């Protein structure tokens, strides 16, 4: 089957070559038409001066016309043949792919015994429920899923399902239920591994991560529940009280995510409700053999970017690039998007001058941040056959495989690896981490949904001596504000769940925040936006890109006057006072 699929790939390459030949013939035909016209005009011009010369030019024009018709017929036949070859190769590819597809029933059913035996050894009662066993996946994917599924099922029995007495005391049946379900979702397959056990306790996860030295106490305090659940995918993390054959070694979920994301090109997320259970949601491509890509050029090399992570493509001028801290960003639909230059990350020759082509991709980590891959040129969309790099090139960084594109080999980019590599900053000293009480400047709540902007502002404030707690959106910020009191709040406007206006109004309705300074830092610089901000209750409205010194001066001013006078908050306050666009 692999050999057949490779032959299909060769057919696709042959088809593309034929399309190139048809295009070339079309160009030649157009040139002949131009030459024929020139010959006709020359014949008319020479007719009065030389009958022989004029007749010769007329004959040349007739010959060019005949050759043009012949080439046009050949090009038409080739075009029809290429369309037919396209249909045949597509049908052959689909048939080969159907032969590669197998149901997930085999790997699902083998875990029935795993659940029964492991539950018995732990003094628990549990059963395995299966759904969607007839769902089909590429055979290679099914085989590679075996180990990750085994680990998820064992985790559900060991960490999720409670002892019978505890379940009965909680109003649950003595026997726990573990469920594996599969279903098609568009061009992906979704597999859910869930249980009705104790669920994940975010507070316990934070405490355990601090205990193991994976995060600091400040980071734990700033973490929302989603980020806390993501801790289970950290290398070295475990909630087991002691090491056993089943758990406690701190090895497992990080390997599961690595397998799902890096090897199988999928995603894995966790959902959980304390006391009700947890579910791991795996999303996988139907096949790893054929994918759609965006073909791009950077630093003189050709690359393929998997289409499933691409949100959009666009072109910008170099002057549209801004800097936030030490990062390059561009504004797309009012949002700052961090730039990742492929020629820099992959250590290639620098690109030329002129417009920059951006491929916006979504990172499948917490928050699903968007990044823009900077290319020199976009070739277009293609359907490709993935080829392995082989054992000698298996460790090539940032490459997920290779493919043949006509006369050249193109690397398929591992986009998550590209993003991780771009965000690494070797040699940069770790930011100072002082407890809030150790700082004299005050405690700031920073509410910003963009990772790059949030980190830049956090560093700016922290380096100035302020304690900083971060929130990833308005709702998260409101939850943090309810749990403790802050001396100043900085918020963006456009955010998921709760925007900056709604957050400000909610804070002003709380007695403890009625007079706490609030700064709005946003790209929304229209007068109506400022009016809405001041109407909601902010003290200062600053537009991005901001002047760092001015922002710090504003923070110092507001913290020096924690209870603003009428000139800052009264009805005579004019929208735009104290603002500065930069």
d(CA 258, CA 263): 7
What fold is seen in the domain 436-569? Rossmann fold (3.40.50)
* Residue in this structure with the two tokens 């003094």, named with its chain if needed: 123
Q: Where are the alpha helices (DSSP H) in 484-522?
A: 500-508
End-to-end alpha carbon distance in the chain:
60
* 394 vs 97, more confident: 97
What fold is seen in the domain 104-285? Heat Shock Protein 90 (3.30.565)
d(CA 149, CA 434): 41
| Radius of gyration in angstroms for the set of CA atoms belonging to the chain, rounded to a whole number | 31
* Residue in this structure with the two tokens 């690039």, named with its chain if needed: 321
The confidence score (pLDDT) of residue 548 equals 76
Q: Count of CB atoms within 10 A of residue 240's CB?
A: 14
The confidence score (pLDDT) of residue 407 equals 67
The confidence score (pLDDT) of residue 56 equals 59
pLDDT at position 114 over 60: yes
d(CA 385, CA 402): 9
Considering 144-153, 247-256, 315-324, the range whose residues carry the highest mean pLDDT is 144-153
Q: Give CA angle at 425 (469, 205), nearest 5°.
A: 40
Element housing 137 (H / E): strand 136-138
| pLDDT per residue as tens digits for the range 558-571 | 887 433 333 333 33
pLDDT at position 545 over 80: no
| pLDDT per residue as tens digits for the range 154-166 | 999 998 999 999 9
Mean pLDDT score across all residues of the chain: 80
The confidence score (pLDDT) of residue 20 equals 72
The confidence score (pLDDT) of residue 46 equals 61
Find the range with the poorest average confidence among 71-80, 170-179, 263-272, 410-419: 71-80
d(CA 313, CA 333): 13
Find the range with the poorest average confidence among 381-390, 411-420, 425-434: 425-434
d(CA 282, CA 179): 13
Find the range with the poorest average confidence among 168-182, 233-247, 307-321, 396-410: 233-247
* 305 vs 550, more confident: 305
| Cβ–Cβ < 8 Å for 386, 405 | no
> Which residues of 256-395 form beta strands (DSSP E)?
267-273, 277-285, 290-298, 301-306, 310-316, 322-324, 327-332, 335-341, 356-362, 370-375, 377-385
- CATH 2.40.50.180 assigned to 291-423: yes
| Cβ–Cβ < 8 Å for 304, 394 | no
d(CA 194, CA 278): 6
Which two three-digit tokens encode residue 141? 């994917």
What b/e readout covers 71-85, taking b as 16+ CB neighbours within 10 angstroms?
eeeebeebbeebeeb
| pLDDT per residue as tens digits for the range 468-504 | 888 888 888 998 898 888 999 999 998 888 899 999 9
Percent of the chain with pLDDT over 90: 26
> What angle, rounded to 10 degrees, do the helices at 500-508 and 527-536 form?
20
> Which residues of 186-264 form beta strands (DSSP E)?
188-195
| Cβ–Cβ < 8 Å for 146, 107 | yes
d(CA 225, CA 272): 10
pLDDT at position 116 over 50: yes
Query: 540 - beta bridge partners?
Result: 519
* Non-local CB neighbours of 77 within 8 Å, separated by 6+ positions: none
Dihedral sign for Cα 229, 231, 234, 237, please: negative
* 18 vs 511, more confident: 511
* Non-local CB neighbours of 160 within 8 Å, separated by 6+ positions: 176, 178, 195, 197, 198, 199, 277, 278
d(CA 147, CA 136): 18
| pLDDT per residue as tens digits for the range 12-37 | 767 777 777 777 777 777 777 777 67
DSSP state of 177: E
Give mean pLDDT, residues 409-414.
Answer: 88
Find the range with the poorest average confidence among 71-80, 448-457, 558-567: 558-567
> What predicted TM-score, i.e. pTM, was given to this entire model?
0.56
pLDDT at position 249 over 50: no
Dihedral sign for Cα 260, 262, 264, 268, please: positive
Edge to edge, what strands does the sheet with 443-447 contain? 467-471, 443-447, 488-491, 518-522, 540-543
> φ, ψ for residue 361 (rounded to 5)?
-125, 150
* Non-local CB neighbours of 480 within 8 Å, separated by 6+ positions: 222, 445, 469, 471, 486
Of 333, 325, 383, the C-alpha closest to 358 is 333
Measured between alpha carbons, how far is residue 302 from residues 287, 305, 308, 310 in Å?
A: 24, 10, 19, 17
- The gap from C-alpha 373 to its chain's centroid, in whole angstroms, comes to 11
> Which residues of 344-494 form beta strands (DSSP E)?
356-362, 370-375, 377-385, 399-405, 408-413, 443-447, 467-471, 488-491
Domain boundaries, the chain: 2-101, 104-285, 291-423, 436-569
The confidence score (pLDDT) of residue 128 equals 95
Measured between alpha carbons, how far is residue 497 from residues 124, 494, 535 in Å?
A: 40, 10, 20
DSSP state of 511: G
Element housing 113 (H / E): helix 111-121
């Amino acid at each position: 089957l692999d050999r057949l699929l490779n032959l299909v790939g060769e057919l696709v390459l042959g088809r593309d070559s034929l399309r190139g030949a048809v295009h070339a013939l079309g160009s030649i035909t157009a040139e002949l038409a131009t030459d024929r016209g020139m010959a006709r005009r020359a014949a008319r011009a020479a007719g009065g001066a030389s009958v022989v010369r004029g007749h010769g030019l007329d004959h040349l024009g007739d010959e060019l016309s005949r050759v043009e018709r012949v080439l046009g017929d050949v090009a038409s036949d080739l075009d029809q043949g290429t369309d037919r070859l396209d249909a045949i190769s597509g049908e052959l590819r689909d048939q080969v792919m159907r032969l590669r597809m197998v149901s997930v029933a085999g790997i699902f059913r083998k875990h029935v015994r795993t659940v029964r035996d492991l539950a018995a050894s732990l003094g628990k009662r549990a059963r395995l429920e299966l759904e969607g066993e007839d769902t089909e996946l590429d055979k290679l994917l099914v085989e590679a899923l075996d180990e990750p599924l085994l680990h998820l099922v064992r985790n559900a029995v060991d960490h999720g399902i409670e002892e019978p007495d505890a379940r009965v005391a909680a109003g649950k049946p003595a026997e726990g239920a573990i469920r594996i379900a599969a279903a098609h979702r568009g061009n992906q397959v979704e597999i859910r591994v869930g249980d009705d056990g104790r669920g994940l306790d975010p507070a316990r996860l934070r405490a355990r991560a601090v205990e193991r030295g994976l995060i600091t106490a400040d980071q734990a305090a700033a973490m929302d529940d989603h980020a806390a659940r993501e801790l289970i995918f950290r290398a070295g993390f475990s909630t087991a009280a002691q090491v056993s054959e089943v758990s406690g070694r701190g090895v497992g979920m990080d390997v599961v995510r690595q397998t799902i994301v890096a090897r199988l090109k999928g995603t894995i997320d966790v959902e959980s409700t304390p006391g009700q259970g947890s579910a791991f949601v795996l999303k996988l491509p139907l096949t790893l053999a054929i994918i759609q890509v965006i073909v791009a050029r950077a630093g003189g090399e050709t690359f393929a970017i998997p289409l499933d992570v691409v949100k959009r493509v666009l072109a910008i001028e170099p002057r549209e690039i801004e800097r936030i801290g030490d990062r390059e960003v561009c504004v797309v639909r009012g949002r700052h998007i961090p730039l990742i230059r492929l020629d820099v990350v992959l250590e290639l020759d620098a690109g030329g001058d002129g417009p920059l082509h951006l491929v916006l991709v979504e990172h499948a980590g917490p928050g699903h941040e968007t990044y823009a891959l900077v290319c020199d040129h976009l070739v277009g969309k293609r359907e490709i056959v993935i080829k392995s790099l082989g054992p000698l090139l298996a460790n090539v960084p940032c490459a997920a495989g290779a493919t043949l594109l006509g006369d050249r080999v193109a690397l398929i980019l591992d986009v998550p690896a590209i993003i991780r590599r771009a965000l690494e900053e070797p040699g940069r000293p770790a930011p100072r981490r002082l407890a809030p009480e150790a700082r004299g400047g005050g405690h700031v709540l920073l509410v910003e949904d963009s990772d790059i902007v949030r980190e830049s502002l956090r560093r700016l404030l922290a380096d100035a001596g302020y304690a900083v707690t971060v929130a990833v959106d308005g709702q998260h910020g409101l939850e943090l504000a309810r749990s403790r009191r802050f001396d100043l709040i900085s918020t963006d406007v456009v955010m998921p769940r709760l925007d900056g206006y709604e957050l400000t109004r909610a804070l002003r309705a709380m007695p403890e925040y009625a007079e706490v300074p609030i700064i709005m830092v946003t790209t929304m610089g229209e007068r109506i936006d400022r009016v809405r901000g001041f109407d909601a209750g902010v003290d200062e409205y600053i537009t991005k890109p901001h002047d760092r010194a001015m922002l710090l001066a504003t923070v110092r001013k507001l913290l020096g006057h924690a209870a603003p006078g009428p000139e800052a908050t009264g009805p005579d306050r004019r929208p735009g006072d104290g603002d500065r666009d930069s």
